Amino acid sequence: MTICIDIRPLLEDQYSGVSYYTYNLLNNLFKVDKKNNYKLFCNSFKKAVNFNFDYPNVELYNFKIPNKFLNFCFFFFKYPKIDKMVGGCDVFFAPNLNFFSLSKNIKKIITIHDLSFKLFPKFFSIKQRLWHKFISVCKIVSQFDSVITVSSNTKKDLIKLCNISKKNTNVVHLGVNPYSFYDSSSVRNKINNLISKEYILSIATFEPRKNIENTILSFENVASYNKDILLVLIGKRGYKSRKYLNLIKKSKFFDRIFYFDYVSDFEKWFLIDHAKILMFISYYEGFGLPILEAQSKGIPVICSYNSSFLEILRKSSLFVNPCDLNDICHKLEEILNNDQLYNDLKEKSLFNVKRFNWRNTAVKTIKIFENI
């Protein structure tokens, strides 16, 4: 069987959850599956493409068409057909929403990560809302033979909002693949100097949905009596990011808040490994990969009591109401000041994360390809 995979999510300059999902899934797919042939569809007009997928049954098809023009053709003319561009395939797999044009006679599978843009449009810019309106998630999933969701919560949202059949929707959780060795020479001095300090870590795009404001405000509450604790924020700049950057700048504890809009994988894992706790108090997530990354290193997590978090974390986290600053402050104080609770959460974190493995994600995905 020949499977065509759309790898355009890998072209992002700064990898997000979708990019990490695509890369880790593919890397494990190709390690596991020696039977099927894979054709990777990519379109990059300016950027050099160099993916490390060196397998005999994997072939890259990279086109150099301006993206806006190609998407225009896909949307309005339903041409060219992606499967024809790569010389034909039996199955087409899209790891994320995008513009597509596909032949009717091939099987089609797509992964939907979340429906935040439909549930909480206020968290998105006008440009983002227009893009999602044009892309029309419900129309797209109706044209695919099978849909993968990364959590049962996203599956529930998809069935409710798009009125699709449960039979055609499969839940496949993400995995975690922690670094175990760091090359200290590749870590910036500014980051290396943090390991001697105690810090709260947040890994989230600077945008309203990620609740950056309450993350900063709750830290300020703790910082007022804990003179040594720091806050480290990792996240690319998104919609309304200037608001949160100004909040940091005006904070009376600004010299104890460290913001990195980009870190390498080495640096990210270095910061996770040395963190006191991870704060991840989003208003909504389809999955939430940073919480597993932290748990894989035994780092306790403070997390929102909503969306997919209960499914992913069960009883291994301290949950908060993301809208209630008093609750967040209280739970943050509790985890920092209660050694028994802290150690209990460390133990539960390491136990919980064992349920999530990229190899299992790949094996389940292959079964969907073969049984469609």
Q: Where does 143-278 have alpha helices with state H?
A: 152-162, 189-192, 212-223, 241-250, 265-273
357 pLDDT more than 80: yes
Give the chain's domains with CATH numbers.
2-175+357-371 (3.40.50.2000), 184-355 (3.40.50.2000)
Give the mean model confidence (pLDDT) for residues 347-366.
97
- pLDDT bin (cut points 50, 70, 90) of residue 294 is very high
User: Which residues are CB-contacts of 96 (< 8 A; sequence separation ≥ 6)?
Assistant: 6, 9, 18, 22, 110, 111, 113
Question: For the segment 173-232, what is each residue's pLDDT rounded down to a tens digit?
Answer: 999 987 766 666 678 888 988 888 999 999 999 999 999 999 999 999 999 999 999 999
* Residue 291: pLDDT band with limits 50, 70, 90: very high
Mean pLDDT of 294-313: 97
Average pLDDT rounded to a whole number, residues 81-96: 98
* Residue where the block lists tokens 């064992």: 354
Residue 110 has phi, psi (to 5 degrees) of -135, 145
Which residues make beta-bridge pairs with 73? none
Length of the chain equals 372
Percentage, residues of the chain above pLDDT 70:
98
Each residue's pLDDT tens digit, 149-174: 999 999 999 999 998 888 889 999 99
pTM: 0.94
Local structure of 214: helix, strand or coil: helix
- Spell out a b/e string for 61-99, using b for 16 or more CB atoms within 10 Å of the CB, else e: eeeeeeeeebbeebeeeeeebbbebbeebbbbbbbbbeb
Which residues contact residue 298 at a Cβ distance below 8 angstroms, ignoring those fewer than 6 apart?
Answer: 346, 349, 350
